[in-house]
Amino acid sequence: VMGELISKARITAKSDSTIILRGASGTGKELFARSIHNASFRKNGPFVAINCATLPENLIESELFGYEKGSFTGASPKGKIGKFEQANNGTLFLDEIADLPLRLQSKLLRVLQERKITRIGSVSQTSINVRIISATHKNLEDMIKRNEFREDLFYRLNVIPLCLPSLKDRDEDVVLCAEYITKTLCRKMSKFPKVISREVEGKFLKYPWPGNVRELENVLEYAINFSFDEEIGTKDLPEYFLNNYLNAEDRPSETDSEPIEINSLKSLDEMTRSFEGKMLRTLLDLHGDTTEGKKVIAKKLGMSVTTLYRKLNNYYQVQ
C-alpha cells in the first residue's frame, strides 16, 4: 500500500496539482506533505503549515490572508503578512481543512481560482504563486451532503487524493519511519545522531500504534531525551509504551483462539509450565535479561527475586 502511495507522491511532486491527504489522525499527513514539497521543484521555497482546527474564525482569516495596519482592534501597527504570502513560491499545507468555516471556504475558493489574495483592511490584491496541499481525517463527502463543506471547493482541492493508512497497517514502514523521525528529532534537539536497537525495532513492529505516527514521534522524542548512548534501547522507552506493549503481547492471537486438537492435549502441569515459560520469555524481552530487569519482572509478578531465578533456572537455565 505504502509503496504505491509513495510512487504516486513522487509523480505528483513533479507537478503543481492540488493534493488532498486523507487518513486517520496521527498518520503523518504533515510529514508526508513536507516530503512531497522537498521532492518538488518548489523545494527551495518555503513550506508553510496552518491547522484550521486550532484557531477561531477571526484569527484563521488574518493568519491566512494577513492584514493592513489598524484594520481591526488589536492589530499590529505594522500590519502582518498571511500564510499565503509567506508560502509564496513554495507550498502551503492546510491541515484539518474540513474545519475551515463556510465563509472562509468561499474566500479560499476565490483565492484558488484567481491566485490572488486581499489582506484584511486592504482594497488591493496581491498575486501569489503557491502550491496547495490540504489534509483531513473527516468524511468531506458526508459534510457536503449536510451543507457543512462547499462542493465546489472540494473539487478544487480533491484533484489528487492520497489516502494514508494507519501505522498498524504499514508494518514494513514502521522501522523506516522510526529511523527518519529519530534523525529529524536528533537534529532538531541538537543531539548526537542515534540509532534504534534491533530489540526496540522488534517491539515497534509488534506494537499496534493506536496513536499512529504521532505516537511514534512522542515515544522517540522521549527516548532521545533520556538516552545517553548512541543506541536507543528498551530502557530508554517511556513506561506507558512498555506497559501498552506488554498488554498487546498478552492479547490472544488468532492462532491462540483456534480450537485445540484433542490428540495434542498435554497434562495441565505441562500446559501451565508452557504458558509460564512463554510469559517469562516475553517479560525478559521487554525488561531485559539483566539483574535490574529481573527485579522489575519479579515486582510485576508479585514474587521474590529468588523465586523468579528458580523459575528461570527451570525454564531457561538462567544463572
Q: Which fold has domain 167-251?
A: Helicase, Ruva Protein; domain 3 (1.10.8)
pLDDT tens sequence across 228-284: 899 999 999 999 899 888 877 655 444 444 444 444 444 555 656 666 776 777 777
CA atoms within 13 A on the CB side of 90: 19
CATH-assigned architecture of domain 2-165: 3-Layer(aba) Sandwich (3.40)
Q: Give residue 267's pLDDT.
A: 53
Tally the C-alpha atoms within 13 A of residue 237's C-alpha that lie toward its C-beta. 22
Tens digit of pLDDT for each residue in 141-163? Answer: 999 999 999 999 999 999 999 99
* Cβ-based burial of 111 (10 A; exposed 0-12, middle 13-18, buried ≥19): buried
Mean pLDDT, range 193-200, rounded to an integer: 92
Cell of 275: 504458558
Which residue intervals of 189-287 are DSSP H helices?
198-206, 212-226, 239-250, 268-287
pLDDT recorded at residue 259: 45
pLDDT of residue 297: 82
Is 163 within 8 Å of 2 (Cβ atoms)?
no
Q: Any idea where the domains of the chain sit in the sequence?
A: 2-165, 167-251, 258-319
State pLDDT tens for residues 167-184.
877 776 788 889 988 998
Model confidence, pTM: 0.66
**CB atoms near residue 70 (< 10 Å):** 11
CB neighbour list of residue 96: distance below 8 Å, 6 or more residues apart: 51, 52, 53, 54, 135, 136, 137
Contact indicator for 214, 29 with CB cutoff of 8 Å: no
Whether the pLDDT of residue 210 is over 60: the answer is yes
- How do residues 67-123 score in pLDDT, each as one tens digit? 888 777 667 778 889 999 999 999 999 999 999 999 999 999 999 999 999 998 888
pLDDT of residue 283: 75
What is the 8-class DSSP label of residue 208? -
pLDDT confidence of residue 318: 43
Please tell me the predicted confidence (pLDDT) of residue 261. Answer: 44
**pLDDT score at 200:** 92
Q: What is the pLDDT of residue 19?
A: 96
Is 2-165's fold the same as 167-251's? no
Q: Which phi and psi (to 5°) does residue 71 adopt?
A: -75, -20
Higher pLDDT, 88 or 296: 88
* H or E stretch covering 57: helix 57-65
Q: Are 44 and 32 in contact (CB under 8 A)?
A: no
Measure Cα distances from 261 to 252, 266, 314 in Å. Answer: 17, 11, 27
